[in-house]
Chain A
Amino acid sequence: MSWTHRERILAAVNHEVPDRVPIDFGGAEFTSITLPAYENLKKLLGVTEETRVMSIIHSVAHPAEEILQRFDVDTRNVMPGRYSGDRDRWVDENTYVDIFDVLWKRTEKDVDQHFLHKDGPFYDGKLTIDAIEAYDWPDGKNAGLAEGVPERVEEIRRNGDHAICLYLPGGFIHRGYAMRGFEAYLKDLYKNPEALCRLMDKLCDFWVDTAETVIDAAGPGNIDIVYFGEDLGTQDGCMFDPEGIYARHMKPRHRRMVEAVKSRTKAKVCFHCCGSAYQFIDHLIDIGVDVLNPVQVTAAKMEPERLKAEFGDRIAFWGGINTQRILPFGTPEEVSAETRRVIGILGEGGGYILNSVHNIQPEVPPENVVAMFEAGLNHRYAEQPL
C-alpha cells in the first residue's frame, strides 16, 4: 500500500510502523532551520525562492515548499497570526518589544542572529499579585491570532495530504522568564510562589485562549499535531526539582494546556523540552503528552537506547539527530550513519519522527542537512533487519 504523509505521522505517534520513518522539517519553530544555515542549503539545492522568515526572534526560516517536497517532508506548519493592535514594536533593527512588553535584543556580531530577552514588565523588585492583576494583559481571543489560519490550512489540504502541525508559542515558564527575569523567576518558585503562580496562571490563560482561537479558526478536525513546550532540563540535569517544583506548581498547568487541546481536537500533543528531559518524561506522559521533542541526545540520560527502553511504549520521539556534535562538525557520511542509528533505535516499532535536535544551527554544512534527510528518505521499515 502507499502511505500518505499524514498517515505516516499518525502511525508513528500511535506507535505503529509506516513504510518509512516520517520526516519533519519546519513543522514548528524549533524543528526548522536557522536563517544562515537555510541560505547555505538553498544555495546547495539551487533554490532561488525568497526566504520566508518563521521567526525573526529565533532567526528561523520557513523551508520553501520546493525543499519540503524534495525531502518528501510529511508535516506542514500552521501558526497563529500576528496579534492585532500594534502592541509590539521595533526599537531598532536589533531591539524588539513584544506584546508582553518584553525587550528582546541581539548583537550584530552574532552569527546566529537570534534574540534574547533582556528586560520585562516584572523585572524589578518584588513580584506582587497586585502588579500582575494591574498589568494590561494581551487577549488570547485577539482576532489577529486567527488571521490567515483558515487560508493556510486550506492551502496545505489543497497541495497534498500532509500532517498539519499547529505550533502554539509561549508557555508560562519561558514567557514567565521573559517577563520576570530568569533568576528572579527561579527564586520566586521558593520565595514568592503565590505571586509567581498567579503569573503562571495569567500566561496559561493567554495560551489556552490562543489555542482555542487558532484551533477554531483552523477547524478542529484539521489539526493533527499541536506542538508547544518549554525547557525543563539543562545539559546535565533538571532546571528545577521535578517533584517539589514541577509536579507541584507546573504540571497541573501543563495538564490544563494539554486538556484544552484534547477537549477540542483529536490532535496529538507534542511537547518540546530542551536539555535533559529524562526526569520529567513520566510527568509529561501522565498529563497526556503523546510526543517528546527535540530529544537532546547529548544531554544527561538522553541516550536514544535509554529513552526507547524506558518510555518508548508510552511516548513517541521527534528529533534526536545530534545538533551539538555530528550535524555541525561531522561528515555527511557520519551524519547519515548517525541518522540510520537513531532511526533504528527510536524508530523501532514506530514511535519516531525524524528531525534534528532543535533547529539546524547556523554552521551546519548544507551537505549534512541533505545527508540527514536522505537517510530518512531511503529508510524502509520492510528492509530493516528484525
Chain B
Amino acid sequence: MATEEIYQAVLAYDEDLVVELVTEEINAGVDVGTILNDGMIAALDVIGREFSEGTIFVPEMLMAAEAVQAGLAILRPRLVDTGAKPVGTVVLGTVRGDLHDIGKNLVGMMLEGAGFRVVDLGIDVNPEDFVGAAAEHDADIVALSGLLTTSMPEMEKAVAAVAAGGGGSSKVRTMVGGPPINEEFAEKIGADGYGVDAPTAVERARELVRT
C-alpha cells in the first residue's frame, strides 16, 4: 500500500515524503526490493517517459531523480544486507577537454534511480582514466558525455581505449551522449549505445547489461 504512496511521492517530486515513506516501509518490514522496484524505479520510469515525450522538462526530471536518490540513500545499506546486486555498474564522465556536466549529471541520476551503481569520474576525463576506473570497479558500461563538437574526437579516442581493454576490461561496453552526438556518430566510432536523452540512456544501459 505504502509502496504505491512512494511511487506517487516520486511523481509529486516530494523528496521529504519519499524519505519518510521509505523509512516507514523499511521499519514495517516490507521487502526492500519491492520498495525499490515498485516504488521508486517504476515511478522514475514514468518520469523518464514523460520527459522523452516532452510533457515534463529538466527541473521535473531533476527533482524526481533527487527524490529517488534520497530514498536510495536509506535503502542502499539494506540492499547490501540482502545481497541484492545493482542492475549493473556504469563508469560515467565528460571526455577530456570538456567541462560541461549538466547532461552527464542527469544521466547519472537517472541511472542510479534505475538501480545502477554509478561511478562518476566528473569532467575533463582522460581516456586512460575511463579504462582504469572500468577495471577498478568491474564496470559493465563506460558512458561518455560531451557538449562540444570538439569533444567528438575525444569521445572516439576514449571509446577506442575502452574497447582496447587497457585495464583488462574487454567485456566493458561503451555508451555516448551529448548534444552533437547521434546514432550515426555513435556507430561510426564503435560505441555500443547512444541515448538521445537521459531516460533513453537508461533504456540503452538496461539493454546492454541484458545482452
Residues of A within 8 A of B (CB): 105-107, 109-112, 116, 182-183, 186-187, 189-191, 234-241, 245, 275, 323-325, 328-329, 361-363
Report B82-115 residues with CB < 8 Å from chain A CB.
96-100, 102, 105
Q: Select one of B59, B149, B180 contacting A240, CB under 8 A.
A: B59
CB-contacts of B29-50 with A (<8 A): none
Contacts A183-B105, A240-B57 given; does A190 touch B179 at CB 8 Å: no
A187 and B15 CA atoms in complex are apart in Å by: 12
Q: A245 and B59: CB pair below 8 A?
A: yes
Per the CB 8 Å criterion, the residue count for chain B at the interface is 26
B150 at the interface (CB under 8 A from A): yes
Inter-chain contact B99/A111, CB cutoff 8 Å: no
Q: B58 contacts A190, CB within 8 Å? A: no
Does the CB pair A241–B13 fall under 8 Å? no
> How many Å from the CB of A127 to the closest CB on chain B?
14
Are A107 and B149 in contact (CB-based, < 8 A)?
no
Point out the residues of chain B lying under 8 angstroms from A238, CB to CB: 54, 57
Main secondary structure of the interface of B (DSSP, over half): loop
Check B149 against A110 for contact (C-beta < 8 Å).
no
What are 12 inter-chain pairs, A to B, with CB distance below 8 A? A109-B124, A110-B150, A112-B148, A190-B60, A190-B63, A236-B197, A240-B57, A240-B59, A241-B60, A323-B149, A328-B149, A361-B149
Return chain B residues, CB-CB under 8 Å to A183.
Answer: 62, 102, 105
Instruction: Please give the distance in Å from B29's CB to the nearest CB on chain A.
Output: 32
Contact B124 A237 (CB under 8 A): no
> How far apart are the CA atoms of A275 and B58 in the complex, in Å?
14
Contact A324 B180 (CB under 8 A): yes
Contacts of B124 in A (CB 8 A): 107, 109-110
Question: Once the chains are docked, how many angstroms separate the CA of A234 from the CA of B99?
Answer: 17
Which of A116, A187, A191 lies in contact with B100, CB distance below 8 A? A116
Do B149 and A189 touch (CB < 8 A)? Answer: no
Residues on B with C-beta less than 8 A from A106 are 99
Cα distance A328–B179 in the bound complex, in angstroms = 15
Tell me if B208 is interfacial: C-beta within 8 Å of chain A.
Answer: no
Given contacts A324-B179, A363-B149, contact A107 B13 (CB under 8 A): no
Asked if A107 and B97 sit within 8 Å, CB to CB, the answer is yes
Partner of B99, one of A116, A190, A236: A116
Q: Are B180 and A111 in contact (CB under 8 A)?
A: no
13 more contacts with CB within 8 A, not counting A190-B59, A325-B180, A329-B149, are A107-B99, A110-B97, A110-B98, A110-B150, A112-B150, A186-B59, A187-B62, A189-B59, A234-B58, A239-B58, A241-B57, A361-B148, A363-B150
Write out, one digit per residue, whether chain B residues 45-79 have a CB within 8 A of any chain A CB (1) or not (0).
00000000010111110110010000000000000
Whose C-beta in chain B lies nearest to the C-beta of A235? B179
B58, B96, B196 pick with most chain A CB within 10 angstroms:
B58
**Inter-chain contacts of A112 with B (CB < 8 A):** 97-98, 148, 150
Across the interface, which residues of B come within 8 angstroms of A240, CB to CB?
A: 57-59
